[in-house]
Structures are given as structure tokens and as C-alpha cells.
Chain A
Amino acid sequence: MSKVMIYGEIKGGRIKKTAFELASEGRRLADKLGGDLGAVVMGSAGEQFAADLGRYGVDTVYVVEAPELETYNSEYFAQALAKVIIEKKPEIVLISHSMQGKDLAPRTAAKLGVATIADCISFELDGSSLVAKRPMYAGKCYAQWVALGSPQMASARPNVLEVVETPKSGTVEKIAFSADASRATYTTKDLNLDTSGKVDLTEAEIIVSGGRGMGGPDYSLLEEMASVFGPTATVGASRAAVDAGWRTHSDQVGQTGKTVTPNLYVACGISGSIQHLAGMGSSKVIVAVNKDPEAPIFTKADYGIVGDLFKVIPEFNKELKALLAE
């Protein structure tokens, strides 16, 4: 029995950092409720992460193995996750609001006859009820949500919850599962993964973003900055840059793109439309480089450089390299 259960997402044979974020938060909630914390992992790769999950407070790691669970599939994963939830009856289930979580959580919730409080940034308890805070309108406002059904399901925005070590046993319990193949689903034909190891915008700790002021598709200055920052940094773009065809749509930050919360957001040649500001306004630190001193982005920036980005960014990169080489 686990009072709180998290779903541990595995990607490319490794467990994601978001699993430890969820475990840390799940541990905190389980302690308050006076119960155990469980984690569900899928596939034969799952068991090896039990010790890692234990370090972040997981008592029991439920490993579900089946041929259908080796590659992510919404229907089979939702079947398996729903099965563990029905068997173990957690009061609270936490999933990451990652690309996979967005696909998995609602299907699982619908199987259980509940809804997920999606994309939460903080959790508290009101008695035994989960109260989750989440942005709406891409961060133009926030609201607290409570789940009226059982279990109380929520998904957490990646990169927001704190990772805390609380060593627990991480005992493995295998869950027997055979997929219900009578339910129609898709088959994966091809996975075309960016092998550069580029982190997704929503999970990046540092985002270097370019807008209309980039003047064209050459983002090498920003790519260079991101690579100096290291593997937790990535390049984003404004809608103007995406609509101009300079960057792919998956790079877009804003209300019709991705809402992001990195530690550092560097906005280069982005004026700061209301939609863009909504999408990145909760970044911890914002740097803006723009030649227009009136650009709205400066009203949100912690550090604003008024100047030509093509002159400023090369100098910035040089300084950064020198500093990070120390």
C-alpha cells in the first residue's frame, strides 16, 4: 500500500530527473499523510532505477514488465499505470507534465474516471486533500485546484519541484501485467530523435531565445551560447521567428508555444509580446538584449542590455567562456 504514488519516466534507458523531483515531493506529501511512497516504472529497464528512486524517498518501486511496455505507447502504458493504481489504491498520484506525461496522464485518468490537475507548480495538503497551484492562460494568472474524485491525480511542471535526498528502501515489487490487445492503438514505425542530446525547452535550466531581431535563420550565436552553458541549456524562439520559418515550431516559447520556467532566460532580439511574456515570465532570472530601449521585454528583465545583439552576444559568449573555463 502506498498513500502517494509517482510515475517514474524512463527515456533512452535512463530515468529522468523529473522522477526524482516527483519522488522528493511525493515523499513530503506521504510523510504529511503518514504513509508510504510508491513509484511505478515500466519495462525491463525499470528495475535498475529502484536504488536511485529509493535515495529520493521511494519506499516501494512497482516494476511492470511486458513486451508492450518496452517502447512508450499511450494505451498500453495507461493500462499498466491504471492497473497499479487500482491495485495499490494510492490517494495521490503524481506524473510529470512532460511530453510523455501529457499523453499518458489524461488517458490514465479517464480509465479511472477522474481528471488530472495538469502542469502544477506547487502542492500542499488541506487535511488529506491535495491542493495544487497551476498557471492558466499560459501564466497570465494562477489558480489552486482540488481533485474531487479518487485518486487525486496531478501532473507537475518539470524543473520546478526541488530535488531532496531522503534515503528509503526502494524495495522492488513486480506487478504482473498482460496488455489488453483488444483495445486499438497505434504502432510506432519510426523514432527520429535528435541525437545531440538537446534538452527539451520545458525541461531546460537555461534557455537562450531569439526573436525577430535575429533577422534571419542564422542562430549560431545563440547555439554557441547554449553550448557554452552546457547540456542543460537549449535554444528557443519567439513566435515571430517561428512564423518566419527561421526555427521549428517546437522551439516556440509563448502562449501558443511552450510555457517555460528555466533558471535563466536570455532573450535576444525579442521585443516581448504579451503572449511571449506570459510564456517565459516565471523564469527565475531574465536577461534581455534588444536595441529598442522601449521594448516591453525590459520591463520583465532582471538584466537588460540596450544594444545591437550582433555586437553584444559575441562579447557575452567570450566573457562566458572565460568565466566558465575558470
Chain B
Amino acid sequence: MKSLVCLKQVPDTETQIKVKPDGTGIATDGIKYVINPYDEFSVEEALRLKEKFKAGEVQILSVGPDRATEAIRTALAMGADKGIHINDEALNQADPFVIAKALAAAAAQVEYDIIFCGHRAIDDDFGEAGAMVAELLGLPQVTLVTKVEISEDKKSAVMERDIEGGKETVEVPLPCVVTSQKGLNEPRYASLPGIMKAKKKPIDKKSAADLGINAEPKLQARNFTMPAERQAGKRYQDMEPADAAKAVVQALRNEAKVI
């Protein structure tokens, strides 16, 4: 089973995001970067498929600046075989469509039975790349996936996905693009021998020109702002539970007017 895993390096969820004074973006100094959590599920699932079929490979594909190499190495340390790093100044602030074009163009140059993407990256929160890669490659998409069962002949798969208020089970011909959702698996940690081996695994570097894509933007951001600071409101302490409960229920009706 050959899997191609699209992966993004994002600020750790612990990060306190700060907007630059001129509002052109976020201040990046001191940020610790990690693999997007939903992409970790993708890496894990791809590794499990390779283990299950006792054949194939797991290839990591990432768009990002120099630092993204660390995220690719981490995935290689988990057990992936090789990486493709699309590193191009023109793509560093790119929108989902441009990123999807780059991912799809790189995918078209390699062999795969299945492509995994996280269902969204937890930095810009667009959640579009997976479906767009699928469309650009003319492949089916199965989004928000929590279970993957590949058929013996590797020509189709049965998957479970989250839908509003429940689950949908679908049958999909391969290759296809899967977007991973929490619940798919529990990602493994990189082992020490894994980390040592990862240092020697190949990472292929690509530019936008290598992929033959233009990076003409479709979206543009401006005026980054911090959320309105919320003030702590009323506190009910050292009170009988019944009195505190009554006071808050009354306040929700009469003051906040939400019930």
C-alpha cells in the first residue's frame, strides 16, 4: 500500500498567538512548531496500512519554509520512508487553492494508492486543501474520516466519516483523498532508533517552478486583530450551592437575557 501523506507544520496548540503591531500577520518569534495534529493521524494511518499489507511505502509531502523540514523528519522518525519538501518563498503565505495546486502537482509526480490530508490545519483553519487536492487530481474525496478499511485487492475501501449528527459509511474506489479526523487512531511517538534512522531518509526538495505551477493568489489577508478581551464577570463564592445556582439562573434570564 503506497500512501502519500500531506503534512503541515503549525504552531503548537499551547502557543499564545500575538498579532504584529501593523496587523499584517502574527508575530512568529518564539513559536514552537509541531506537526498539525490532524496530520499526525494521517501519518499513523498510513504507517498502519503499510504494516497491515506488509508492503508499500509512506511518503510525506509538505509545503513550507526551511523549518518545515523538522516536521517531515518527525514523520520519518515515526516510520515514514521518504519526504518531499516544497519550499518556495512564493508559497509561504499561499492560500488553500495555491497550496492545493502545489500538493496536487507534486502528487502527480509520484505513485500512490491513497492520499491522506488532515481535515484542517489548526493555524489558518481553512480546511480546504484535502478536498481541493482531490478535485484537482480528479479523485474522490472522503472527508472527516474516523475509520479506513482497504479491500484485499487494494482497489477500494470502506470508510466511516463524521457527518452532522452521526456517521456515514461510504465505499470508495482507490486512489482517493482521505481527510483525517480525530478518532481515526492514536498516533505513535517516534522511537529513538526511529529518530536516528530518519536522519538518513531522503527528502526531495521542490520549488514552484519544479512543479510547473503559478502561485497567483486567490485570497489575501489583511488587518489581523486580537479578539476582544473578555472581562471576568460576577463570581459566586462561599455560597450555598442552591443560592449560587438560583442567582445565576436569575441573572441569565433577567440580566444576560439568554434564557
Contacts and interface: CB of A to CB of B under 8 A. Distances in A.
A68 to B, nearest CB: 14
A277 B148 CA distance: 32
Q: How big is the B interface, by class?
A: 35 or more
A83 to B, nearest CB: 14
Contacts of A111: 135
Contacts of B63: none
Contact of A149 (B218, B235, B244): B218
Contacts of A301: 232-233
Interface string B93-134: 001111010000000000000000001001111111111101
Contacts of B170: 186-189
A143 B221 contact: yes
Nearest to B95: A115
Query: Which of A102, A114, A301 has the most chain B CB atoms closer than 10 A to its own CB?
Result: A102
Contact of A74 (B15, B96, B141, B258): B141
Interface string A141-160: 11111111100000000000
A303 B251 contact: yes
A313 B144 CA distance: 34
Interface string A227-270: 00100000000000010000011101001110100011000000
B218 A284 contact: no
Interface string B172-199: 1100100001110000000000000000
Contacts of A255: 13, 122
A47 interface: no
Interface in B181-235: 181-183, 217-227, 230, 232-235
A146 B219 contact: yes
Q: Is the interface of B mostly helix, strand, loop or mixed?
A: mixed
A109 interface: yes
A136 B15 CA distance: 13
B248 A303 contact: yes
B12 to A, nearest CB: 10
Interface in B6-21: 11, 13-19
Query: Which of A145, A249, A303 has the most chain B CB atoms closer than 10 A to its own CB?
Result: A303
Contacts, number: 287
A282 interface: yes
Nearest to B134: A107
A193 interface: yes
Interface stretch (B44-52, B53-61, B67-75, B160-168): B160-168
A313 to B, nearest CB: 8
Contacts of B127: 102, 106, 118-119
A50 to B, nearest CB: 23
B248 A256 contact: no
A324 to B, nearest CB: 7
Given A106-B132, A146-B220, A305 B122 contact: no
B51 to A, nearest CB: 23
A282 B143 CA distance: 27
Contacts of A135: 125, 227
A48 interface: no
A294 to B, nearest CB: 12
Interface stretch (A24-32, A36-44, A169-177, A314-322): A314-322
B164 to A, nearest CB: 4
18 contacts: A74-B131, A99-B164, A109-B97, A113-B97, A117-B219, A119-B126, A137-B17, A146-B222, A148-B217, A187-B171, A249-B146, A286-B230, A303-B233, A303-B252, A305-B236, A308-B241, A315-B244, A320-B259
Interface of B: 11, 13-19, 26, 37-38, 95-98, 100, 119, 122-132, 134-136, 138-144, 146, 158-159, 162-173, 176, 181-183, 217-227, 230, 232-239, 241-242, 244-246, 248-253, 256, 258-259
A-B complex: 7 closest residue pairs judged by Cβ atoms: A106-B128, A302-B233, A110-B135, A315-B245, A140-B17, A106-B131, A193-B166
Given A149-B97, A320-B259, 12 more contacts: A74-B143, A78-B135, A98-B164, A115-B98, A116-B96, A136-B17, A138-B122, A186-B172, A203-B164, A255-B13, A287-B248, A307-B244
Interface of A: 11, 74-75, 78, 98-100, 102-103, 105-107, 109-111, 113-119, 134-149, 183-194, 197-200, 203, 206, 229, 242, 248-250, 252, 255-257, 259, 263-264, 274-275, 281-282, 284-287, 293, 298-308, 311-316, 318-320, 323-324
